Amino acid sequence: MPAQPALAVLAAISFCHLLNDMMQALLPAMYPMLKTGFGLDFGQIGLITFTFQLTASLLQPMIGLYTDHHPKPYSLMVGMSSTLIGLLFLSVTRSYTGLLVAAALVGLGSAVFHPESSRVARMASGGQHGFAQSFFQVGGNTGSAIGPLVAAFFVLPRGQGSVAWFSLAALLAITVLWTVGRWYGRHRGAVAATRAGAGRGHPTLPPVKVRAALAVLIVLIFSKYIYLTSFTSYYTFYLIHRFGVSVQSAQIHLFAFLGAVAAGTIIGGPVGDRIGRKYVIWCSILGVLPFTLVLPYVNLFWTGVLSVIIGLILASAFSAILVFAQELVPGKVGLISGLFFGFAFGTAGIGAAVLGRVADRTSIEFVYHICAFLPALGLLTAWLPNLETGVRTRPAHVDAAPDPVATG
C-alpha cells in the first residue's frame, strides 16, 4: 500500500519556499526604485537579473549531483544564510557593483535551496510526486506573488534600507529548515534507497529516447521561463509606459499575475498525478498561446484579465515537467531538480538581459509582441514518450520515503 505524504514536512518546506522566493522577489520588485535611484537603463536592470539567475543556474546542477551521492541534511540552512547576507548587502549598497554582488549572494542561496528542498518534497511525497512538487512549488509562487506587494507598500515608501528588515524572514526560515534537516537526517535511508536504485535512464526506454525527451522538456522550460521573465522583470514597466498607471498600481497587477501563477502551480501537480503529466504539459504550454497572442493589443482591463489567465494556465506545467524528467532518470532527483531549476533560472536571467536590450533598442511593448509566440514551442510535446500507464494506481516510487516517513 502506498505511503501517505508527510504533510507536516511538505508544509514546512513549502513555507520556507514561500519565504525564500518572497525575499528573492523583492529585488525585481524594487527595479523601478533602483532604476531611478541609481540611474540605470533597461540593459543594466537585465544584467542584475542575469547575475542572480546565472549564479543560481550554474551551481544548482552541481549541488544536486553532489548531494545525490553525499546528502547534506543541513545544507538548506547554509543556502538560506547566503540569502540573508545578500539581503543585508542589498539594503546598504550604494553602487551598481554592490547590487550585482547582492544579487549573486541571493542567487547562491537559491542554488542550494531548490535542489535539496525538491528532494525533501519527493522523500515526503508518499508516492504522490506531482502533488508533493506542486505543494512545494506553490509556496515559492506564493512568495513570488507577495514580494511585489511587500515592495509596493513597505520597501518603496521607506526606501532601500528597509530591505534589511526581511533578514528576519530569513532567520525564521533558517529555524524551520533546522527542523526539516533533523527529519531529513532521520530518514536518510530513503536517500540511500534512491541511490541504490539509480540508473542511467528510464528502464523501458532506450537512452537515445531518454535524452531526446529531456531535450524536449528543456525547450519547454525555455519557452515557459522566457515568457514568465517578460512579466517578472518588465510587466510593471509595460503597464506604466503603455497605460500610464502608478508604480503601486502596476505592482498590484503584477501581484494578480503572480497569484494566478501560484494557483496554477498547485493545480498542475495533482492533475498530472491523476490524468498523466503529458496531458498537463500539452494544455499548459500550447494552451496559453491564444491568450499571449491577444495580450499586446488589448486595453488595461483586458490586459489584467488575460495576464491572470496566462499565469494560471502556464504555471501548471513546471511540476509536471519536473516529475516527468525525474521519472525519465530514476534515482537522480538532485541532479534532475538542480538541472531543471538551474536551467529555468538561467533561462530567465539570459532572457531578462536580452529582453532588456530589446526594450532599450525598440520599445517595451515590442517585447510582448515577440514573446507572444513562445508558447508555440509547446507543439514539441508530441515528441515526449508516454509514461502515463498506471498513473492512478502505481505504488510509491523508490524515491519516496517508506511508510514510517509518513508519520515523521
The pLDDT tens digits for 150-182 are 887 888 888 888 888 988 999 999 999 999 988
Band (290; pLDDT cuts 50, 70, 90): very high
For 230-239, what is each residue's pLDDT tens digit?
998 899 999 9
For residue 145, pLDDT over 80 is answered with no
Give dist(CA 378, CA 381) in Å, integer.
Answer: 6
Mean per-residue pLDDT over the chain, rounded: 82
- Exposure b/e, 345-362, CB count within 10 A at least 16 = b: bbbbbbbbbbbbebbeee
Q: Which residue has the cell 490524468?
A: 275
Residue ranges of domains in the chain: 7-390
In this predicted model, which residue has the larger pLDDT, 95 or 32?
95
Assess contact for 233 and 28: CB atoms under 8 A.
yes
Q: Which amino acid is at 162?
A: S
Assess contact for 281 and 317: CB atoms under 8 A.
yes
What confidence score (pLDDT) does residue 199 get?
Answer: 45
Assess contact for 132 and 18: CB atoms under 8 A.
no
For 14-24, what is each residue's pLDDT tens digit?
999 999 988 88
In this predicted model, which residue has the larger pLDDT, 306 or 22?
306
Class assignment of domain 7-390?
A: mainly alpha
Band (394; pLDDT cuts 50, 70, 90): very low
For residue 95, pLDDT over 50 is answered with yes
What confidence score (pLDDT) does residue 41 get?
Answer: 84
Burial of 391 (0-12, 13-18, 19+ CB in 10 A): middle
Assess contact for 177 and 77: CB atoms under 8 A.
yes
Highest mean pLDDT among 87-101, 112-126, 198-212, 339-353: 87-101
Q: Cβ atoms within 10 A of the Cβ of 161, count?
A: 11
Band (4; pLDDT cuts 50, 70, 90): low
Band (59; pLDDT cuts 50, 70, 90): confident
Assess contact for 116 and 56: CB atoms under 8 A.
no
0.75 exceeded by the pTM?
A: no
Q: Which residues does 203 contact at the CB level (< 8 Å), separation at least 6? A: 330
Q: Which residues does 345 contact at the CB level (< 8 Å), separation at least 6? A: 52, 53, 54, 56, 57, 60, 107, 110, 225
For residue 294, pLDDT over 60 is answered with yes
Question: Average pLDDT in the 38-62 region?
Answer: 82
What confidence score (pLDDT) does residue 50 get?
Answer: 81
What confidence score (pLDDT) does residue 362 get?
Answer: 92
C-alpha cell at 322: 519536473
